[in-house]
Each structure stands twice: as C-alpha cells, then as structure tokens.
Structure 1
C-alpha cells in the first residue's frame, strides 16, 4: 500500500493529493471507493 502511495505521489509531482483517511480499510462498491459497511447496514 505504501509503495502504491509513493508511486502515485511520484507520478503526480506538483499536485496536492488528498491523503485524508487513507489508512482506513476501504472497499469498492458500485465503482466508488468507500468505507466498509457494518453487517447490520447490509
């Protein structure tokens, strides 16, 4: 994961990237990267 972030930063030098909450576990749902839902919400 950290290697991927470093590559993204290198490829987008000079661009401010939003790195907020990147340490959280995420999943892809309907083409969007989102926080996982609780089983109660499913």
Structure 2
C-alpha cells in the first residue's frame, strides 16, 4: 500500500536512526503530538 511504501522510504532515508514504527496505521492521525484514531467529525 502507499502507506507502507511511505514508511519504508522514511526508514530507508533515516537508516542510521532507530525509528519506532509500532502502532503506525494509515487510518490514524496526529493530534497534539500523539498518534490517535481519527476523531468523528461533527456535521
């Protein structure tokens, strides 16, 4: 998937660093510096 390809590219570009990718998910979003499930949008 595009999400997994993007993660692989980030890891490859930062090969000298140990990145924590546990819990990454294409459906999640960043809110206040935390990776969280998407919030329901009020209509």
Range class of TM-score, shorter chain: 0.5 to 0.7
* Unaligned residue ranges in structure 1 (runs of 5+): none
TM-score by length of 2: 0.56
Alignment check: 8 A CA contact 1:24 1:35 kept: no
Alignment size in residue pairs: 39
Compute the displacement of 1:19 (Å): 0.8
> Based on CA coordinates, which of the two structures has the bigger radius of gyration?
1
Give the 4+ runs in structure 1 shifted more than 6 A. Answer: none
